[in-house]
Structure 1
């Protein structure tokens, strides 16, 4: 007997297998939209960070899987997939699990989205129930994989809401077709060479000096990591406010220059 929606865990797990980062980006978008729809708890994890033996304990899982070469799964999916193919797992092992699969691939290859197709079929054969049919993103689409992801997500949220309305209490916020929301900022830190002259105080001179700096050949402190900034808060409104923690190595007078970069994939969000 199926449990009532009031007894089901109010949590959505998004598992991704990515080799170049596209599947991770897509999974993060799924997580953001779920949170915007009011989902009480959302966990976005790489498959190699999730114990597949714990899958039967979950109730709602979305899988986002990319394709490598001639239909091979990403490295982060291999152990997960090996576990799922065990013969000891019965046809009812995942009974009670609701799932959805979205794949990223290239239709010019023979085994187009093969890992996603295999995963979808295997989960179903283990007793899990589809929230919606699998989605297949195609690099050959004029909008890339997002050409299939956009409509697929609309169907996913509506279907998930029918399965358990309490999971997405603000579903209208998740399926708003005209709402373009930027993802979390990704920060890369590059060290620059600059003369250690602390006697200059004229802001105009300091700004011109900053503009003329070139990337350093090596870090001024070899012990410092390449990515030393940690985002400590992220507030959105009419403008975006970001706060960073630079660690104990930051000194008064250190310069932080933020150079925005728009990926070609997202250019249409700004010009349309």
Structure 2
């Protein structure tokens, strides 16, 4: 009989980063319970190894009209092979959490069909699948919080070996903050590529964007680190009333560099420019030097989140440029985990308590009102 893994495996498939965010939260909560965890993207995992696992948690998003994320396409095709049989995953336990938008007809379609396929292959569900909905006032976390509570309760019952210190043991959050995901290295100004100070055309901007994105903690394919085209926005008007809780807009662009071919149904990934004043405000608030030259690369345990084909160690970039091209400081509301981490750095007790409250399930609705509803940015969090 094949020996099963004693590690809880978390596999995620993301298009915009939300599924990764959920997967990392599940991993943190498992580690708080002294559980050994491995987290991986579906495109980094060998699906042939699934029968050797004990328990697998899947976190998958649905894109477009019920489509799988790009990072899941190969994995999904493998699972659809007819020769796998109905006993291929017999003895394996699994759980599925999906992220979708109920405004679309094929809401959470990927999570639903993955759940069915795993069951068809002989695996046993630990809990009923969870379905996060972007349309909910609290977003996907409204479904995630109770789903996680059920998951840990059920796993404690059927898989106690995952929790060697008992069902009530919890590591303090402080111990899980640990080292940052990435290592920032500062360089002497003489290390700067002479081309960076002389080039002024689109090619220069492409090079800067490519360098910045290759250092980003997000998983950007090597061939997609540079933009395909530069566009100018020519129309921007709202489609919803000012009183509507969501600001839906109509945009039109025109090409200012090369023209690219596209078809109906293609996905457009836009990297917008940010307000220089907001970028400067963020850097100043962090007490950083915008002119310093840096390289950013993952720490040893985080290599799975970076493109291994890109050597980021030899291409310094200005700190200001890195922030401008990889960190949304002007529009995106910070995630819930941001408030949890910030609570460890707050010096005033009332600020610490407020941040901890926002990061808790009890404070989820108030966080939505303070954060997403009011469209508060990282710079505006006070």
CA distance in 2, matches of 1:27, 1:97: 19
Inter-partner Cα distance in structure 2 for 1:145 and 1:183: 26
Q: Please, which runs of 5 or more residues in structure 2 have no aligned partner?
A: 191-283, 302-311, 341-354, 358-382
Residues 295, 313 of structure 2: 8 Å contact kept: no
Higher relative contact order (CA 8 A, sep 6+): 1
**1:265 CA displacement:** 2.9
- 1:1-272 aligned within 5 A: 8-39=4-35, 41-170=36-165, 171-173=167-169, 185-186=180-181, 214=290, 227-231=295-299, 263-266=333-336, 270=355, 272=357
CA 1:121–1:187 in structure 2 vs 1: closer, same or farther (change >3 Å)? same
Query: CA, structure 1 residues 230+186, in 2 after alignment: closer, same or farther (shift >3 Å)?
Result: closer
**Structure 1 residue 268, shift from structure 2 partner:** 6.4
Q: Distance in 2 between matches of 1:247 and 1:50?
A: 26
Q: Which runs of 5+ in 1 are unaligned?
A: 196-207, 221-225, 234-245
CA distance in 2, matches of 1:135, 1:89: 26
* SS of match in other structure, 1:149: helix
Q: CA separation in 2, counterparts of 1:101 and 1:27?
A: 11
Provide the alpha-carbon RMSD of the alignment: 4.2
SS at match of 1:161: helix
Q: TM-score, with normalisation over the residues of structure 2?
A: 0.50
Alpha-carbon displacement from aligned partner over 1:28-69 (angstroms, at most 9, x marks no partner): 111111111111x31100001111121111111000001111
Distance 1:190 1:265, change over 3 A: same
C-alpha displacement at 1:143, in angstroms?
Answer: 2.1
SS of the equivalent of 2:110 reads: helix
CA shift in 2, pair 1:158/1:143, >3 Å: same
Structure-1-length-normalised TM-score = 0.69
